[in-house]
Amino acid sequence: MTTNLLKSYFPMIQSREEILARIYSNPELQQLFESWTVLQQKEFLDFCSGAKGIKVLYDSFFKEVMNPEYDPARLESFLTTLLNRKVRIKEVLPNDSTRLSDENSLLITDIIVELEDGTLANIEVQKIGYAFPGARCACYSSDMLLRQYKRARQRSIDPVTGKDTFSYRCISKVYLIVLYENSPSELKQCPDHWIHRSKTIFDTGLSMDLLQDYIFISLDIFRLKMHNKKVTTLLEAWMTFFSTDDPEEIIKLITDFPQFKPMYETLYQMCRNVENVMGFFSEELREMDRNTVRYMI
């Protein structure tokens, strides 16, 4: 019944029989499918056929539906809701930070955008919370701030006269936004809160913006806090979109917040390409295994 309910909203969803027929008509796809465990096969068939919802935080799904180069309005809407200010994305920046290669591999997604006012915002998605999250976030935020400084210095030099007009007022704020699917232990010590916003303050009341703000979001804690509760705000709707694979919750979400329906349509259209979605699901499984090993090390 659940599958039929989802299919009535997303008619492009294929049946389990159609998906299996496509897999077994291709020896390579069949070999790949049979290399997975029974539970992995079931998970794949469930989200492709609509028996369960799509896990939006899978790397390829998240990048497709939230990529600001394809449809900036989606990420702009999320950031506007999260930052409580109107956001327009000016540019998507390459990630040329100095992260360790193993640390990079633990990330699902890492998107850096420059906003209209020059602010930099970095959006990370992590399946496994890092050890020492405070230290690594401080280092990466500083790396982003240094990027701001270098860009401001370059822009301050007149290409004709060579005159340098640099001022520190040219450096804009940086936001580090991290979505944790499984929160690190530090965040689990605050079980009553699923979102944490941080900025530097002084015990004397001194007002000085040090330009580095942090937002940590615990999706696992959000799910626990919202159990049997109605989603009433757009921010809660975004968190539900990122964290639920329950078909009834998805239908409720797109009914109350119809702006999410086109995003699911994008994802279910992806699922029609069985070859591609099997490829990235297989890579997701491999990456999860590698991440677990690296994290334990």
pLDDT digits (tens, 9 = 90+) for 124-146: 887 666 667 888 888 888 888 88
Q: How far is CA 104 from CA 97, 113, 196, 233, 290, in A?
A: 10, 18, 23, 33, 12
Give the whole-angstrom CA distance, residue 125 versus residue 291: 13
Residue 296 pLDDT > 80, yes or no? no
The confidence band for 159, taking pLDDT boundaries of 50, 70 and 90, is: confident
pLDDT at 180 over 70: yes
For residue 80, the one-letter residue type is T
Q: State CA 220 to chain mean position distance.
A: 14
The 8-class DSSP code of residue 233 comes to: S
pLDDT exceeds cutoff 60 at 14: yes
Provide, rounded to the nearest whole percent, the portion of the chain with pLDDT above 90: 56
The 195-198 sheet, strands edge to edge = 89-93, 107-115, 120-126, 174-180, 212-218, 195-198
- Average pLDDT over the chain reads 87
Task: Quickly count: other Cβ atoms within 10 Å of residue 2's Cβ.
Answer: 15
Cα three-residue angle 267-23-11, rounded to 5 degrees: 35
Model pLDDT, residue 4: 65
Helices in the chain by DSSP H: which ranges?
A: 2-9, 16-24, 27-35, 38-49, 59-66, 72-83, 101-105, 133-155, 185-188, 219-225, 234-243, 247-256, 261-271, 274-296
Q: What is the mean pLDDT of residues 182-192?
A: 92
Phi, psi of 174 (to 5 degrees): -120, 140
Residue type for 106, please? L
Q: Would you mind telling me the total number of residues written for the chain in this entry?
A: 297
Q: Which of 46-60, 90-104, 162-176, 187-201 has the lowest mean pLDDT?
A: 90-104
Structure tokens belonging to residue 210: 């040090």
Task: Report d(CA 119, CA 87) in Å as an integer.
Answer: 10
Report which of residues 134 and 255 the model is more confident about.
255
Please tell me whether the overall predicted TM-score, pTM, comes out greater than 0.75 for this model.
Answer: yes
Residue 169 · residue 117 · CB < 8 Å: no
The pLDDT of residue 219 is above 60: yes
Angle at 57 between CA 112 and CA 224, to 5 degrees: 115
Mean pLDDT of 153-164: 87
pLDDT exceeds 70 at position 2: no
**Is 70 exceeded by the pLDDT of residue 290?**
no
Rounded average pLDDT over 96-125: 68
Q: How confident is the model at residue 75 (pLDDT cuts 50, 70, 90)?
A: very high
Distance CA 226, CA 16 (A): 31
